[in-house]
Structure 1
Amino acid sequence: MMWFLLCVGALIAGYFVYGGLVEKIFRPRPEQKTPALTMNDGVDFVPMSDKKVYLIQLLNIAGLGPIFGPILGALYGPVAMLWIVFGCIFAGAVHDYFSGMLSVRAKGASVPSVVGQHLGVAAKHFMNIFAVLLLLLVGVVFVLGPAKLLGSLSEMNVAWWVAIIFGYYIIATIVPVDKIIGRFYPFFGALLLFMSIGLLVGLGISDKGFYSAGLDFSNLHPKELPLWPLLFITIACGAVSGFHATQSPLMARCMQNEKSGRFIFYGAMIGEGVIALIWCTLGLSFYESPEALNATLASGGPAAVVHEVSTSLLGAIGGVLAILGVIVLPITSGDTAFRSARLIVADFFKLPQKALVKRLLIAIPMFVIGFLITKAEFGVIWRYFGWANQTTAMIMLWAAGAYLIKEGKLHWICTIPAMFMTAVTITYLANAEIGFNLPMNVATIIGAVTTVVFTAGFFWKYKKPALLPQEQNG
């Protein structure tokens, strides 16, 4: 229990201390009107209160990632919780803050436009393709995950649940943001709160108790899978996630004051970190050993763990409510994933989205492609999602670093995590079966060398030019 509370305390302290530093470096302009006020169109640019925007942002970014990822990460032992804490404070929340605030400064632009503005036209075109691909993968993952959980609670075939969830996504993607997302998410937030607190209380009063096997930070994975770089791909959304860069612009179009950025963007990521800590703790505490957890995962994946833990700790009714809370998370991220994809495509083709027919023109083909992707094996989709997710985060962090360099501000808060994520993603791609399937030692060398070369090229391109005499004299 003490270890869990220390980790949560560190996240909260990180919000006030490091989050305050990040805000001070960025320097928000509270006097400047935001896109929600200057570009209000009643569809995507809609002013909303800070509390509502925060809650929507939290539910947008907290999909299956901070649940499934930490459950899988628990196989490695308590070290997984360290990555959640440090990754969240120094990388994930920083990434989310800049992806949101740079979008605000760019009139609510989507992530490809933000990246292009700071890394160049080639990066923009790459991100247009990459971000839409990531969002389709996210949308598909967030259809299949909740559909399987709903199938376990009912006698209805999973395929029918897939169809129902897709139907909801189509509606949520094309209607104004305040009609469904802004109206029903507060209720979903209450369900999420019940799930999180209820499971913690249930664990505390059960005979399982909180993890007490000792803080062994060595690799405890029963299959001896390496910590590097797999842990940093496995636990994505609870620590750092590129998917969030596609979601933050949605709320950048709804917030009314730049000063609210730390609460909305940095704060929502801290909230997601707490959710990730809860599920990592449940994975560590509920099962006697990593081998026991792995056995349940082998029988039905992370969804089986969610079902077993929830019903065991909270009984039949409480367990169903907790599972519904877990189902809400991916559904409230899946709908905004497709919504973000629609907006990115609309920005690329310069199609105004006020008219319903123009929204359908993009949404229908997009959902057809998403449905076809659901026919692939879930495990394969999840692995591609994990790599694409972290690669998007890496690119967004480099873009934020470029912005800070050009503004003459302290860039290391973004460039250091960008370097780390570059090494993670390149090493994983070189080693993984979905990549080049090279031996880990070779893959690590490739990751390190690529990171050094890319970092050197980045600083060469964005080195601060010498001041002209008239500039030196003010």
Structure 2
Amino acid sequence: MITFFVCLALLIVGFLTYSKLVERIFRIDDRPTPAVAHPDGVDYVPMKPWRIFLVQLLNIAGLGPIYGALSGACWGPSVYLWIVFGTILGGGVHDFLSGMMSERNDGKSISEVVGLYMGKVITFIMRVFSVVLLVMVGVNFSVGPAALLAKLTPEALSTMFWLVAIMVYYLIATFLPIDKIIGKLYPIFGICLIVMALGIGGATVLLRGSDMPELTLASLAAVHPNSLPKWAMMFVTVACGAISGFHATQSPMMARCITSEKQGRGIFYGAMVAEGVIALIWAAAGVTFYTNHGSLLDGMSGLTTAIAAGGAGDVVYEISTTLLGPVGGVLAMIGVIACPITSGDTAYRSARLTIADWFHIDQSRTGPRAALSVPLLAVGALIALALPWDVLWRYFSWANQTLAMIVLWTGAVFLHKYGFPPKACLIAALPATFMSAVSVTYFFQAPECLGLSTAVAYPVGLVVAALFLAVFVWRVLVVGKDDVTALTAAAK
């Protein structure tokens, strides 16, 4: 229990201190934001900061901080460290930079922002990568909630029924102006999500506090019951609970709604820390619930078996109803269901905006919005019916962390290009290096990728990450600011 509260305190202190350092390095000012400069009533819509925060939280907090954290807890309480330090040093920085870089560039989609600083080739890669990832997110965040809704409703309302209903809702939410559904309903769902997390966290502490494992050398050395390597499998599995490239596709939507740059730290960095708290609660609940007065290894094994048998959705249902009772469990499940649905619809919306920015399609008119929204949802529906959820989640997780790596490197280049000293660039360059090692290692070792041994994957991941950092340092310290700007312009 002590470890849990220490980690919770670290997340709060990290936001109060490190986020202010990041904000100071970025040098926010009083320039007019895109929402103030040219509101269009569809995507560029000024909203109140508290409302934008709750929308941002719902946008980014899909299944990742719940399903990903539960899966990560199969490695034991060592997952706490990744959630805490990944959130403060990586995820918060990533979300703040992606949102503010977009705001500084008229609310452009992240693929276009990356292209401005990394060249034409990366622009094309990012456009395709972003759209594919966003559709995969939309698919993942429709199949999971549909299965959970089927558990809470009569048998006649099957998973397929709810999947169709969710996809219809996605079409409506993707198509309509952002303040009609998203701006009105999401703050309510955001409050439900927070209450749900507090309920699960409080019940875990009060009812199972004696079973909550502590972070010791033995628990750090604990091995996954299926012998999956901690590096880099755990770091990818947790996904959105620590750092997520998907967030970079969502932040530009809120960058089009903020009315002052001073709101950026609380909205972008703050929402990521809130998601880290949610992930910490679910990771603690998962590893504690199955320990049940036994050993830590028994708890890890029980959680792994439960996920393998019925999926993370069944685990969420079992934990919620057992800890909170039938009524409280249903309320918690509603929060879990609303969470991914409200990320799925904004994923499709972000995909629409990415394509619109790519081909310069005006989205203030009804016809062009429909022309992009309908095909995107149709493709998502076909994928949802064709591929199993566990395969989709693994591919999403890797693509997610790879996108985070690219965005962090873009943030480092952005800071350098605008005259920030090399030390300041390290707030993005160091987590970018770490995520490069994670993504490359996972690609070489994961069964769904190359499936090579750790003897090959580990050194390759570390060498590639070191190479990326060396190239960046060379361009910063050797080539110089003026030449880097010229090289960037030439690459375009």
Tell whether the 8 Å contact from 1:208 to 1:286 is kept in structure 2 after alignment.
no
Question: Is 2:187 aligned against 1:176?
Answer: no
Q: CA 1:195/1:210 → structure 2, altered by over 3 Å: closer, same or farther?
A: farther
CA deviations over 1:379-421 (Å, ceiling 9, x no partner): 1111100000000000000000001111232100000110111
In the alignment, which residue of structure 1 is the partner of 2:132?
A: 133
Question: Is 2:414 aligned against 1:403?
Answer: yes
In the alignment, which residue of structure 1 is the partner of 2:296?
A: none
Q: Which one has a larger percent helix, Structure 1 or Structure 2?
A: 2
Tell whether the 8 Å contact from 1:405 to 1:463 is kept in structure 2 after alignment.
no
State the distance in 1 between where 2:373 and 2:480 align: 48
Structure 2 gaps, min length 5: 292-298, 483-492
Tell whether the 8 Å contact from 1:34 to 1:257 is kept in structure 2 after alignment.
yes
CA deviations over 1:262-290 (Å, ceiling 9, x no partner): 00001110000000000001011111211
In the alignment, which residue of structure 2 is the partner of 1:358?
A: 368
Q: CA RMSD in A?
A: 1.4
CA deviations over 1:280-318 (Å, ceiling 9, x no partner): 010111112111111211211111110000000111111
State the distance in 2 between where 1:15 and 1:187 align: 24
Q: CA 1:466/1:360 → structure 2, altered by over 3 Å: closer, same or farther?
A: closer
Identity of paired residues, percent? 48
State the distance in 1 between where 2:213 and 2:389 align: 33
In the alignment, which residue of structure 2 is the partner of 1:287?
A: 290
Tell whether the 8 Å contact from 2:11 to 2:88 is kept in structure 1 after alignment.
yes
State the distance in 1 between where 2:355 and 2:41 align: 19
- Residue among 298, 315, 321 paired with 2:331: 321
State the distance in 1 between where 2:349 and 2:114 align: 19
State the distance in 2 between where 1:277 and 1:359 align: 38
Q: CA 1:462/1:362 → structure 2, altered by over 3 Å: closer, same or farther?
A: farther
In the alignment, which residue of structure 2 is the partner of 1:389?
A: 400
Counting only pairs closer than 5 Å after superposition, residues 220-259 of structure 1 correspond to structure 2 as 220-259=223-262
Paired residue type of 2:81: L
Question: What is the deviation of 1:463?
Answer: 4.5
In the alignment, which residue of structure 1 is the partner of 2:268?
A: 265
Question: What is the deviation of 1:451?
Answer: 1.8
Q: CA 1:372/1:462 → structure 2, altered by over 3 Å: closer, same or farther?
A: farther
Paired residue type of 2:193: L
State the distance in 2 between where 1:16 and 1:10 align: 10
Paired residue type of 2:473: F
Question: What is the deviation of 1:450?
Answer: 1.7
Paired residue type of 2:244: S
Q: CA 1:121/1:462 → structure 2, altered by over 3 Å: closer, same or farther?
A: farther
State the distance in 1 between where 2:254 and 2:215 align: 41
TM normalised by structure 1 equals 0.96
- Residue among 408, 413, 438 paired with 1:424: 438
State the distance in 1 between where 2:481 and 2:193 align: 52
Question: What is the deviation of 1:203?
Answer: 2.1
Question: Is 2:310 aligned against 1:297?
Answer: no
Question: Is 2:154 aligned against 1:143?
Answer: no
* Aligned-partner SS, 1:46: coil
Question: What is the deviation of 1:146?
Answer: 0.4
State the distance in 2 between where 1:136 and 1:207 align: 39
State the distance in 1 between where 2:63 and 2:90 align: 20
Paired residue type of 2:57: L
* Aligned-partner SS, 1:335: helix
State the distance in 1 between where 2:251 and 2:114 align: 13
Q: CA 1:41/1:224 → structure 2, altered by over 3 Å: closer, same or farther?
A: same
In the alignment, which residue of structure 2 is the partner of 1:27?
A: 27
